[in-house]
């Protein structure tokens, strides 16, 4: 179940709860409430899986960038050798080949740097989203548990008052 579906289920559980005649408090199925909170906790790590996929995607991007860089370097080297072999002016061919090689290395470094930056940005966004969802889920669960604690205290106070009343009547 998605986190939002579980939150909807929690809300539905509260809406369907029976009202107590005194104090306007609700009777909530404790087991069902705790089951939903557990399911909520279990559904959050999906974002961590997404972060792992982003890391794998980053590795694939880096691998592609390295492969492209190698291909560019090989192509530059082939062109350089071709120019040297085909041209009468060997010096010009060597200079052009060297320039292409330097340019290819620069483009490869830029491609790798861009891939690293993109992967880091995606990873950071996924980590931030996962952290926020975990925080939101914990905050929501804490709020529900505090409400339940307040209701339970109210019930206990009502029970104590009833016991005291019955004891006074028996005297």
Domain extents for the chain? 3-170
The more confident residue out of 128 and 91 is 128
Bridge partners (DSSP) of residue 169 are none
For residue 32, give every residue at least 6 positions away whose Cβ sits within 8 Å of its Cβ, in sequence order, or none.
13
Sign of CA dihedral 127, 132, 137, 141: positive
Tokens matching residue 78: 């082939």
Is the confidence at residue 1, as pLDDT, over 60? no
Kindly tell me if the per-residue pLDDT of 45 is higher than 70: no
The pTM (predicted TM-score) of the whole model is 0.34
Residue 90 has pLDDT above 70, yes or no: no
Please tell me the CATH code under which domain 3-170 is placed. 1.10.287
Q: What is the Cα–Cα distance from 93 to 163, expressed in whole angstroms? A: 103
Q: What's the pLDDT band for 47 if we cut at 50, 70, 90? A: low
In angstroms, the CA 140 to CA 4 distance is 12
168 by DSSP, 3-state: which? helix
CB contact set of 61 (below 8 Å; sequence gap of 6+): 115, 118, 119
Give the model confidence (pLDDT) of 108-150 as tens digits. Answer: 899 999 988 998 999 898 889 889 998 988 898 899 899 999 9
Q: How confident is the model at residue 152 (pLDDT cuts 50, 70, 90)?
A: very high
For residue 87, the SS3 value is coil
């Amino acid at each position: 179940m998605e986190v939002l579906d579980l939150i909807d289920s929690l809300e539905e559980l509260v809406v369907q709860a029976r009202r107590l005649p005194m104090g306007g408090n609700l009777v909530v199925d404790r087991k069902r409430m705790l089951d939903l909170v557990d399911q909520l906790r279990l559904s959050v790590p999906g974002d961590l899986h997404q972060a792992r996929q982003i890391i794998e995607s980053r590795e694939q991007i880096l691998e592609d960038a390295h492969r492209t860089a190698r291909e560019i370097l090989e192509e530059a080297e082939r062109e350089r050798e071709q120019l040297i072999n085909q041209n009468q002016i060997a010096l010009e061919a060597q200079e052009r080949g060297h320039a292409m090689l330097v340019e290819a290395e620069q483009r490869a470094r830029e491609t790798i740097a861009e891939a690293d930056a993109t992967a880091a940005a995606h990873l950071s966004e996924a980590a931030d989203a996962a952290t926020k969802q975990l925080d939101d889920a914990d905050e929501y669960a804490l709020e529900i548990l505090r409400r339940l604690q307040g209701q339970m205290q109210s019930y206990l106070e009502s029970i104590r008052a009833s016991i005291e009343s019955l004891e006074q009547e028996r005297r």
